[in-house]
Structure 1
Amino acid sequence: MEETRSQVDWLTRAVEALPDEMTFDAMQQLILSMVFLRQVSDVPEGEAQGRPTWEELVGQVAGKPDLVHQPVQRALRAWSGSYGKFRIDLDNEAVLGQMRSDSRVVDRALRDLIALLDRAGRAGAKGDLYDQCLARFSEDRVGGDYYTPRDVVRTMVGLMAPAPGDEVYDPACGSAGLLTEAARYVETHGGRPADRTGPVLRLFGQDINARTRSIAAMNLILHGLEDTLPRDIGTDNSLLHGSDAGEKYSVVLANPPFSMRMPLTDAGFVFWRYGPPPKSKADLAWVQHVLGALKADGRAAILLPNGAAFRGGAERRIRAGLLYDDVVAAVIQLPSGLFSHTRVPACLWVFSKSKRAHAATRVLFINAQDTGVQVSRGRRTLTGADAERIASTFNSWSKHDAADVPGWCRTVALEEVEAADFDLQPARYVAPVAAETAPGEDERRVRELTEELYEHFAEASRLEHELRDVLGT
């Protein structure tokens, strides 16, 4: 769903309504819990099983303007409990305690929040409001540790084209955006994710962060997907122990943290098929985990920083092993500026354990670096047409080959990649087609780059001052 300003302005007003001293995590927890409450309690009284409905809560708040926190906390406790495989705890007494001790401030903030949610939740599907919150919180905070932008999610899922009968696994599931989109894809292509009369789409998630698992669980419930998960979201460290139950999956989708350090110990780790990765960069450790979790005919899409495609040493050896094993199907260069938390350019790597004959010992490179539209300074987004073009190019190629398109895609034999020292950067094999520059375009671009450079200088200065404060120098 494409968001409009009118659909998300309510969240800006909701944040402004809360006391200034609330931490970001407390504010996020309260708003997401209230959004969940607003949606799950919006049922007829006969279906509420004795719990207060949203309509009743709105009426109670209107009738007791000075004691809003009391019915809110009762409702949060009442709607906590089991939802399929998940246990949801909405009791935010600890969060409310972070507000000022003046109950009038608490009541006013909650009253404003409920009024905003009451209006915002009347349109769209139940999961839409929650999706809007996740997107905006990711934009407002440096560190998108749990959220993958919707345009990237759509592209990744389109590459995999999941279907009923697939088992879809995300080893670093964050807010579960890739899993919910996989279910949406199945439904919009004629399948029914939870239809027990035929093949069933099954979803599996894993995340080491307890706060993130709670966000993911609420997201899945609001999208009506609690029955598509055979078990709760796994808690193990994927890089140390593999998938939570040691299962194999037909599809893996992953956006792991970019270039994180390896855990301090690799005891019990069993899937270094292509050799151990460097301790300073875990990108290709995630790749090996993903491949280790795939069935014999499985497929995967994983988002990685560009450096994983060309760095030397252990990573070069791992790339060579992947290519000689013929599991790399495609590498896709994405445009810069897609992520709010990093300017690091990224590629999508597509893996297949069952390439067709025409694709054997060959890799498809797609250079999509010039796609997307600019939405703000330094930020771009892929359009629906961009995502569809990327996915359809790969899916056509994987099924019955496809012709090279200058400036867009090219099929490259293993021997050529080997001669390039196993460099998997798409731009090395697919050069952009030179285009005529519009009058003044070069000057405009220089101004943009200059502004961006000064932004980097300012950020570096800020970080230096923070570091000096920490070190006491």
Structure 2
Amino acid sequence: MPPREKKSTEQEETLSSSTPEEIQAILWKAADKLRGSVDSAQYKEFVLGLIFLKYVSDAFDEHRNKLAKELAEDGVSDDRIVDCLEDRDEYTGAHIFWVPETARWSWIAANAKSQGVGKLLDEAMDAVMRENAALTGVLPVIFNRDNVDQKRLAELVDLISDARFGGNEEKPAQDVLSEVYEYFLVNFARAEGKQGGEFYTPQSVVRLIVEILEPYNGRVYDPACGSGGMFVQASKFIETHRGRGHNPDIAVYGQEINQRTWRLAKMNLAIHGIDGNLAGRWGDTLTDDMHPDLKADFVMANPPFNISDWARDESDVRWRYGVPPRNNANFAWLQHAVSKLADRGTAAIVLANSSHSSPRIEAEIRRAMVEADLVACMVALPPQLFRTTQIPVCLWLLTKDKSPQGAKRLDDRRGKTLFIDAHGMGEMVGRTERALTEADLTKIADTYHAWRGTASAREANLSYQDESGFCFSADMATVREHAYALAPARYVDTGPPVALEPPEVPRSGPAALMKDLYAIFG
């Protein structure tokens, strides 16, 4: 217990907060301060780690001030208030991370110059992790190193001190931080180019997956979770459709191969108040599955496309439909997803377009998966959704059970596959980047829900009909006729060719002959 202190006037009112836009501007300047002095791969850890520490400290102070005010109004003595303010149960019970005194931002800012900012920050990160089990091994302890410019780091701390993550009547502190965190993930992904795609999936793609799957309850799994965007969007989906006060009935499981990205994901879930199981450490899902016994109700993933150097074990039990080729892991990811599905689970996997019509070994695996009636839907997505790659992509929807499933009263779709061609959708949101619009997301999701006969489709009085140029429900025989190639363009009818009427011409000479020929061969 630290020495008792007198109650300050600051404890009598909550901290004022910056707008998300102001915080974003402040912190992007902070990132610029590190440019050239820190390896670009460490940008995210430095800046997002400091943002997180500042947030937990501000949230702690906000709750502390609120608690002090309530106790004073109840007539509690000053000495007793001081004791209560240092009772960790008062914070953890309100889902606030406990922040030891020497890890609080006010302490760091006051002592940075005299005690060394890098040393204080590393000690603060260690202290917060030590006091909060959910953050063990998550926060970066990288500030007190020879290659870190301590002068610039001190300037960065001063800049971040100007950002207040305290909440207000319109927006809780958690929402302010989540918006800032998302802003930085997007911008770091853009700044890092191709490498940025390893940890960030465009929001419209994530939203499409979540809107289609409707993960209201059950086990949600992402085998290549990146920074955790799928889980965050699933939580937002529940909040949007069930209300902020609804307690999400989902259990989150994930795995990530990159150590730094795994830490970002853990911080991202903590920021959003999501208690997820991302395993005890990072690791390669295809070679070291850290959730071996998991059976998920929803699998959602944007795994790396067309991996050509993956470590293949031909005896792996997951390759039930065929051993994936050494030079491409796409069908390893698809079969891994199937292996993780509960009996009535559904998976949504983003892959390169080559996966739906590739030849040889992959064609045989695709045939086996179709014959096993695993493919529920194929969606052709528009180009340029991924700023980090120009590879065209598609969405695979897999399920083990296309029956009505009893009480769910779904439409019987056994032996059928839905094909949706959305390649012409979306609008440009930058010079090289496209995003699906709200109308696009609604149309694609509603089409799938109507085809499957979900509860949401019944509530909205939706019924499925093939739509020329957009969607088609194919039976198994039709897919066989196409040699198990699953490109939606092969199935979606673009309508009959328009018959060109011949012009009116005189009934004599070459023109009359041409009209006669039109009549015969038209």
Regarding TM over 0.5, the answer is: yes
Aligned to 2:333: 286
Q: Does 1:238 align with 2:289?
A: no
* Distance in 2, Cα, partners of 1:412 & 1:425: 12
1:306 to 353, 357, 360: 353
- Between the aligned partners of 1:252 and 1:82, the Cα distance in structure 2 is 33
Q: Secondary structure, in 3 states, of the residue corresponding to 1:211? A: helix
Separation (CA, whole Å) in 1 of partners of 2:127 and 2:485: 56
**Superposition TM-score, scaled by structure 2 size:** 0.73
Measured in 1, the distance between the counterparts of 2:131 and 2:298 equals 28
Moved more, 329-338 or 412-421: 412-421
Match for residue 464 of structure 1? none
Partner amino acid, structure 2, of 1:259? N
Secondary structure of 1:138's partner?
Answer: helix
- Which residue identity lines up with residue 15 of structure 1 in the other structure? A
Q: CA deviation at 1:50?
A: 3.3
1:349 corresponds to 2:396 = yes
Structure 1 residues without counterparts, runs of 5 or longer: 435-473
Change (3 A) 1:346 1:6: farther
Q: What is the match of residue 169 of structure 1?
A: 221
Q: Give deviations 1:155-198, integer Å, cap 9, x for gaps.
A: 1011110112x101111111111112112222322278994xxx
Q: Does 1:407 align with 2:495?
A: no
Question: 1:127 and 2:178 equivalent?
Answer: yes
In structure 1, how many angstroms separate the alpha carbons of the residues matched to 2:130 and 2:108? 22
TM-superposed CA distance for 1:424, in Å, is 0.8
Amino acid at match of 2:209: M
For 1:338, the equivalent position in structure 2 comes to 385
Tell me the equivalent position of 1:38.
54
Query: Over residues 88-123 of structure 1, what are the superposed CA-to-partner deviations in whole Å (9 max), with x where a residue is unaligned?
Result: 4435345753233xx4333223323443x4479986
Q: Given that residues 334 and 367 in structure 1 are in contact (C-alpha distance below 8 angstroms), is that contact kept between their aligned partners in structure 2?
A: yes
Give the Cα–Cα distance (whole angstroms) in 1 for the partners of residues 364 and 179 of structure 2: 44
SS at match of 1:331: strand
Compared with structure 1, are the counterparts of its residues 241 and 91 closer, same or farther at alpha carbon in structure 2 (3 Å cutoff)? closer
Q: Secondary structure, in 3 states, of the residue corresponding to 2:46? A: helix
Query: What's the TM-score once normalised by structure 1's chain length?
Result: 0.81
Partner of 1:376: 430
Tell me the number of residue pairs that the alignment of Structure 1 and Structure 2 aligns: 422
Asked if residue 418 in structure 1 is aligned to residue 496 in structure 2, the reply is: no
CA distance in 2, matches of 1:121, 1:382: 31
Residues 472, 493 of structure 2: 8 Å contact kept: no
Gap change, CA 1:71 and 1:284, over 3 Å in 2: same
SS at match of 2:287: helix
Quick check: 1:80–1:91 contact (8 Å CA) kept in 2? no
Q: Are the aligned partners of 1:242 and 1:293 in contact in 2 as well (CA < 8 Å)?
A: no
Do the aligned partners of residues 433 and 335 (structure 1) sit closer, same or farther apart at CA in structure 2, a change above 3 Å counting?
farther
1:430 and 1:8 map into 2 onto residues whose CA distance is 44
| Displacement after TM superposition at 1:205 (Å) | 0.5
| Equivalent runs, 1:66-465 vs 2, <5 Å | 68-69=117-118, 71-81=120-130, 83-94=132-143, 97-100=146-149, 103-115=150-162, 117-118=163-164, 124-142=175-193, 143=195, 144-164=197-217, 166-190=218-242, 195=247, 200-226=249-275, 229=276, 232=279, 235-242=282-289, 244-261=291-308, 263-266=310-313, 269-356=316-403, 358-399=412-453, 402-430=464-492
Q: Distance in 1 between matches of 2:477 and 2:381?
A: 25
If you compute each CA radius of gyration, which structure gives the higher value, 1 or 2? 2
Question: Identity, % of aligned pairs?
Answer: 30
CA distance in 2, matches of 1:134, 1:121: 22
Aligned to 1:18: 34
How much has 1:200 moved relative to structure 2? 3.0
The alignment partner of 1:28 has SS state of helix
Counterpart contact for 1:41–1:79, Cα < 8 Å: no
Tell me the residue number matched to 1:459.
Answer: none
